[in-house]
Structure 1
């Protein structure tokens, strides 16, 4: 079987001191888990362009990308590796319109994120000081 590398972008979307997290739809890969919004880049697409597109598609928000927070990689199976670039984003609205990919959303405090996000995401957020971002509740 051929090895595959997938590149994805995620947004830590901050609004009024909280971060938007979404719950994957039950019938999706990783169904029922909470995560930040984002997805795979298309061939030839710029990273920030992909992030803006994915966030618009998945939650209907227009965002401003501020900076990259961290990059990480892991294998989802023996032949598939995922590289995720996570960015700090801001938005002016909390009016989320969910796509079919997610069943719920929450504007979460740091405490809620620690309780609800997948353990691997919490570990990365702690390692890269995401919970210590200025202005987070």
Structure 2
């Protein structure tokens, strides 16, 4: 493998459910995953903690202010310049109005029925199911 393919890029995601159990998702506007639905999140910037990155990413992509909770799980996914190490955290929405922003072209709360119809990023459904984080509503 080349050094570039060995590069590890730390990323975070925020897993949030509303009071009815719907899951917060965004539709990606840029690669990787352009056009696909996923958990809101992104790269951790230099000097930033995971918690700070989750708060920033959710604000940028969804307009929502969140409190970050426990680490739910981590996955590694291939990217164009290395491997994305994605650490997904439980989030509780504190305030804000849901609206897409930054690299998200859409943002919504989804039920299990809607989730089944959406084009999702690779292994998202299986991972959320394994973690017990599918929509509850």
Under TM normalisation by the shorter chain, which class is it? Answer: 0.7 to 0.9
Cα pair 2:26 2:61 within 8 Å, conserved = no
User: What does 1:47-126 align with in structure 2 at a 5 Å threshold?
Assistant: 47-77=50-80, 80-93=82-95, 95-116=97-118, 117-126=120-129
- The 3 A distance-change label for structure 1 pair 87 and 114 is farther
RMSD (CA atoms)? 1.9
Unaligned runs of 5+ in 1: none
- Following superposition, the deviation at residue 64 of structure 1 comes to 1.1
Count of matched residue positions in the alignment of Structure 1 and Structure 2: 131
Structure 1: 4+ residue segments shifted above 6 A: none
TM norm structure 1: 0.84
Counterparts of 1:6-85 in structure 2, within 5 Å, are 6-16=9-19, 17-25=21-29, 28-29=30-31, 30-77=33-80, 80-85=82-87
- Answer whether contact 1:15 1:92 (CA < 8 A) is retained: no
Structure 2-normalised TM-score?
0.84
Contact 1:10 1:87 in 2 (8 A): yes
